[in-house]
Amino acid sequence: MLIPVVIFGAWLAFQLSPTIEALCFKGDLRTWMREEFGIGYDQRNTLVVGLAMGFAVIPMIFSIAEDAIFSVPKHLTTGSLALGATPWQTMTKVVLLTASPGIFSAIMIGFGRAVGETMIVLMATGNTAVMDLSIFQGLRTLSANIAVEMPESEVNSTHYRVLFLAALVLFMFTFVVNTLAEVIRQNLRQKYSSL
């Protein structure tokens, strides 16, 4: 039932976009952004990567969080409802708190997937090595930088060693974030295991 709605929405957006662009942005969004704000616009930009990574990561986060929520023991929810709590109170005070270690794990797994992603970033950002703070410009992540430049670097050169240093930085960042996530998850598990 959702597919016709999505198709109709896309068709409607394509039909209305020239009119909206003419009314709101003087006919050309890129020129308007450059004149009004001094912001350049690249077709492959950080905003596109954010949307693409959202589509890549959110289903995994959703499925893991859903499993965590549905693995809350039924006797906890029925007991809460039997003691006079409303369904909303049961959800916020019992179900979400009990499932919070699993939900946090799902978010951290999704974050780790997004940080380590290489090919989506390479294809959607234009592989721009020069970066600025605008979300309408391209970028290159550490993992993409290593993947692109490692075949080109000469063994034992300075460039080769810098790429290994970038890999070490990426590894250390991932290790620290995963360690902190595990500590937080264990604390949540201990805190809410008494429910």
- Give yes or no: residues 98 and 6 share one domain: no
98's CB contacts (< 8 A; 6+ apart) are 72, 73, 76, 192, 195
- Give yes or no: residues 178 and 90 share one domain: yes
- Give yes or no: residues 28 and 91 share one domain: no
CA separation for the pair 80, 189 (Å, rounded): 20
Which CATH number is 64's domain given?
A: 1.10.3720.10
State which residues form the domain around 24. Answer: 1-41
Using one digit for the tens of pLDDT, what is the confidence trace for 133-180? 777 777 777 888 888 888 888 888 999 999 999 999 988 988 888 888
Using one digit for the tens of pLDDT, what is the confidence trace for 21-76? 888 888 888 888 888 888 877 777 788 888 888 888 899 999 999 999 999 999 99
166's CB contacts (< 8 A; 6+ apart) are 142, 145, 146
pTM beyond 0.75: no
Give residue 114's Cα distance to chain centre: 6
Q: Which residues of 12-21 are buried (b: 16+ CB within 10 A; e: fewer)?
A: eeeeeeeeee
